[in-house]
Amino acid sequence: MVILTDVLGVLLDVHLLLVIVASAIYGLVLGAIPGLTALMATALLVPVVMFMEPVPAIAAIITSSAMAIFAGDIPGALMRMPGTPASAAYTDDAYSLTRDGKAGLSLGAGLFSSVLGGLLSALVLTLAAPNLAELALQFSSVEYFWLTVLGLSCATFVGGSSLLKGVAALLFGLGLSTIGMDPVSGTPRFTFGVTNLLGGLGLIPLLIGVFAISELLRTVTLPATGERQARPAVGSISAGMGRLMWHHRFEVLRGSTLGTLVGALPGAGADIAAWIAYAVTRRSQKGKDPNAVEQKVQRIVSAGAANNASLGGAYIPATVFGIPGDAITAIVISVMFLKGLNPGPTIFLNNPTAIYSIFAIFFVANILMIPLGILCIRTFGLILKVPRTYLTPIILLFCIVGAFSVENTLFAVGIIAIVGLLGYFMEANDIPMAPAVLGLILGPVIEQTFMTSMLKSGGEVSVFFDRPLAIALAVATLGSWALAGVLKLVDAAKARPVLT
Amino acid sequence: MRISVLASVLLAFAGLAGAAQAEYPERPVTIIVPAAAGGGGDTTTRILARELKEILGQPITIVNQGQGGGVVGLTAIKNATPDGYTVGLLFPYAGYKATGQADFSAKDFTPIANFNGDSSSLLVGSGSRFNDLKTALEAIKASPGSFKVHCSGGCGSVWDIPVAGMMLDYGIDVAAIKWVPGQGAAPGLIELAAGGVDFQTASLPEASALMSAGRVRPLAVLSPEPVPGFPNVATTTQTIGVAVDGGTWRAIGGPAGLPGDVVAKLDAAVAKATASAAYKDAMAKANFGVKYLNGKQLEELMLRHEKDTARVMDALGYGK
Amino acid sequence: MKVQDVLVGLFFIVIGILMIGHAAELKPPRHLKFGPGFFPLLIGSGLIIVGGVIALLGLRSLRTEPLWHRPEWSRTRQGWVRFCSIPAAIALYVLIVDAAGFLLTAVLVMVLVLAVSGVPLRRSVPAGAVTAVVLTAIFASVLHVPLPWGPLQNISGWLLW
């Protein structure tokens, strides 16, 4: 109880509250602009926060990243361009609702599920961080391998109509991810002597190319008459949201749980969390019309909760063991060290006020997201009044700056053009983007965990089945594949009489 | 028409500023950090840059280029215009050669000054049967093929090379050990705590959170004296009677052919910065060691580093 | 541009063959059983198989479908110019930004893309100038993204806040 009053004392500081509000606005603006990402927002904060007091410094990172992840939904729903990669999973669903005149529903569902996902993961973080971190410490490369394979199998549920083209896209994404230094021996692959290719194509430039540039290419080639239709009225955002969230409580809970867990695992971040929650929800809708409003909202709610929940999840290993869950928490950890606020289990004993204040900021930031989020959606609606002719080159410049600021090379700027063209032609030929992106993100992890495990065992495949946790995960993975196969066969058997 | 007007205005501005001759530096200095934001290289450089900004009286721009394990950033430093306005962070670089990623040597850079040094250490999981370095080394010597050592980052780099060098001197067949590469110290520490590997090479600050959690234990640190902040961790001198000094070093360097007055000015600035109380405090708080070396000493360090790395990499069987 | 599935399948097959070809040149270093070529080999083989199936299934409709289907926009020169303006603008940026600086390059990118949409210079130049100055102020001056200053480099110290 003493801690609670201490934490309240910390939070009621005017300076801290100002920092939170300022970084909230900063995060919302950067997140809502296609081409600028949550990672970029955090990375650009580094020089500023490094020399601030520890709690305001970390508050700035928490608030701006949470706001950016939510704000990514806004251009996704209104322009079919996700503001951050974490919103990409449900951009098509959200945009199609907007085209049916339901922009308020789509954005409201995104906002309130983000808030709930963030709050639930903050609750888990506050109550169970040390216990959950303990679980994460049981994972060797073998367990990570199975987990990543399980994540990869989600590709079949986000792949669109043709399973075959979905698998091709997945393999293509995996192939692109092998460009650069091989993750185990460091041998250059597919680099053709180009130094810039040693680091691979770079995930952020790739995602900017695939999601923003390819959409710009589609926009400029649309007949000019289409311009009038693309100005949706947003309508009320908060009306009926309480009831809607209660109606979709299972999806919120599912998304938040998945998001928190995925976030807590090193290597996977908000984007993966959203894809997985999306895929799992999609799968649970078997037999229902995937294009019905109810089903679309379910997927938006679940994935929207997951990407915000993953942010809180990433702080579990970060604060308890100093292990970063993603690039954002890597920055947080170095800021904590710099302030003498060394992460580790002892921080809960030595410095409880600071650590619980940091956790409390998650609650503050997520509650603040409701009014500021609505304000941001309204403002963005005004931006859409700018003629599309002018919006296109402005977004293009943002994409260029966004790619450059994350990688600091002009090479990355060139990548967005090439990948944008590639994405355009893939979409034109019904090759789904989602599996390719999943392959791009998970490819290096799979290869690295597989190779490391083989290296440790001296080439014995049995290493993948000789630890209890590994066996459990292997059974889950292989089981879900077998189940999917059986279901496909059953479907085919059912479908055949109808066809003939 | 308007563009040309704009351009001529811009050029006029530039000419105006250029005309006012002043001493170096007259404009912001860029430091290329071949590492991502948030890592040790980035943090230490930013702490240094804060002092350099005051001393040089110009803003310092930090540019993170961590792609390709640092090769991209180091190449950018090597290819920069040698005018003193683009310098960079140098760190142990000789390991890239054996894996065919790049071939850097001291000739490619102008050494300016070293500002940080951290020792490598050998760690075990809490369940390990080893309690001191000597018994561990004896066991590895007896059957090197049955042990797995995590390199933290890619193998053949800052933390594992000094440890492998120490083992080599101890008479161990290092090529038979299973060296396991990873994506950095933190994921490696999970692997160590989960029992996936037997040993790990990393710096003590990186492992401190899991050490205080009782999940990993340091066997020894490769430093002649105990490391500040970790007085209870045994040095190699205390356990095997051999003084070993191995680990990372971080220095400011420029492209080859930097003018002498620029080097002198920057070296003096780094010397002053590393001696300042603000720098020492910030580094101590974040558990980083302060180690100043002037340009000449840094060059010797770089040459020694190249020779040591080549020797150990050869024994490890790289490039065969 | 939509192409027939046989061509889509062939595309994946070609990528797969190239991957396997490159993978074969990668020797496992030291005593590793599985080297850097192992995963590219697996992925390349997968691409050849899946690409092959896509191409075979596409053969069924090869007679009824054209080999490629040109989208509506590509029938006019204007459509091509619009489509190419995006990659062209990025290429322009990459080529000249180091010498010309971000301010000038951003104006040129804006003017280029706007000109393609028929916006006259008297509107596109001010729009570009405002955008470029605002972006420079936010990203270069406040957030310290190292955007090139070009001719302004000598006075960039005054422009960083």
| Residues of chain A found within 8 Å of residue C32, distances taken between Cβ atoms | 184-185, 451, 455
Comparing CA positions, the residue from C82, C73, C78 lying closest to residue C2 is C73
pLDDT band at A50 (very low <50, low <70, confident <90, very high): confident
**pLDDT for position B17:** 45
What does the pLDDT average to over B153-157? Answer: 81
pLDDT at A482 over 90: no
The answer to whether the Cβ–Cβ distance between C114 and A189 falls below 8 Å is no
C-alpha neighbours within 13 Å on the C-beta side of residue A497: 3
DSSP string, A332-345: HHHHHHHTT---ST
Confidence of residue A500 (pLDDT cuts 50, 70, 90): very low
Average pLDDT estimate for C86-112:
95
Q: Is A47 in Cβ contact with B62 (below 8 Å)?
A: yes
Question: Residue B2: its pLDDT value, please?
Answer: 47
Interface probe with C: pick from B8, B56, B61, B81, most Cβ of C within 10 Å: B61
pLDDT band at A495 (very low <50, low <70, confident <90, very high): low
C39-85 pLDDT per residue, tens: 999 999 999 999 999 999 988 887 887 877 788 788 888 888 999 99
- Give the C-alpha separation, B14 to B113, whole Å: 32
Q: Where are the domains of chain A?
A: 2-491
In this prediction the ipTM stands at 0.93
CA distance A458 to B49: 45
Which residues of chain C does B10 touch, with a Cβ-Cβ cutoff of 8 Å?
Answer: 101, 103-104, 150-152
Query: What is the band of B15 on the pLDDT scale with cuts at 50, 70, 90?
Result: very low
Q: Is residue A183 within 8 Å of B66, Cβ to Cβ? A: no
Tell me whether strands B148-150 and B199-203 are parallel, antiparallel or unpaired: parallel
Name the residue facing C152 among B13, B26, B63 (closest C-beta). B13
Terminal alpha carbon distance of chain C: 47
Size of interface B-C (CB pairs under 8 A): 60
CATH, domain range B119-246: 3.40.190.10
Calculate how close chain A gets to C61, using CA atoms only, in Å: 15
Calpha distance B28→A161 (Å, rounded): 54
* DSSP 8-state class, residue B288: P
CA separation, residue A24 to residues A62, A63, A373, B115 (Å): 9, 5, 9, 36
The token pair that represents A317 in the structure block: 């290993």
How high is the pLDDT of residue B235? 92
Chain C residues near residue B58 by CB distance under 8 angstroms: 157
3-state secondary structure (DSSP) of residue A449: helix
**Closest approach of chain B CAs to the CA of A71, in angstroms?**
23
Chain A residues within 8 A of C3 when measuring between CB atoms: 429
In this predicted structure, the answer to whether residue A364 has a pLDDT above a threshold of 90 is yes
Cα–Cα nearest to A71, from A84, A62, A61: A84
Nearest-Cα distance to chain A for C69, in Å, is: 10
Which residues sit opposite B247 in a β-bridge? B119
Q: Closest approach of chain B CAs to the CA of A372, in angstroms?
A: 28
Rounded CA gap, A323 and A290, in Å?
39
| Chain A neighbors of C33, CB-CB under 8 A | 454, 458-459
- Chain C residues whose beta carbon lies within 8 Å of the beta carbon of residue B28: 156-157, 160
Cα angle, residue B236 at apex, residues B234 and B240 outer, rounded to 5°: 110
Domain B26-117+248-304, architecture per CATH: 3-Layer(aba) Sandwich (3.40)
Quick check: A208 contacting C, CB < 8 Å? no
Residue-wise pLDDT tens digits, B229-272: 888 999 998 888 888 888 899 999 999 999 999 999 999 999 99
pLDDT digits (tens, 9 = 90+) for B25-73: 888 899 999 988 877 888 899 999 999 999 999 989 999 998 888 889 9
Cα B89 to its chain centre, rounded Å, is 9
Amino acid code (one letter) for B257: G
Interchain proximity A200–B67, CB inside 8 Å: yes
Tell me the shortest Cα–Cα distance from C151 to chain B, in angstroms.
6
Q: Does C40 touch chain A (CB under 8 A)?
A: yes
Domains of chain B: which residue ranges? 26-117+248-304, 119-246
Name the residue among C146, C151, C156 with its Cβ closest to that of B10.
C151
Q: How far is CA A279 from CA A12, A106, A171, B292, in A?
A: 41, 18, 18, 54
Whether B119-246 and B26-117+248-304 are alike in CATH topology: the answer is: yes
Closest by CA position to A282, among listed A158, A458, A376: A158
* Planar angle of CA A296, A399, A333, nearest 5 degrees: 80
CA distance A47 to A331: 11
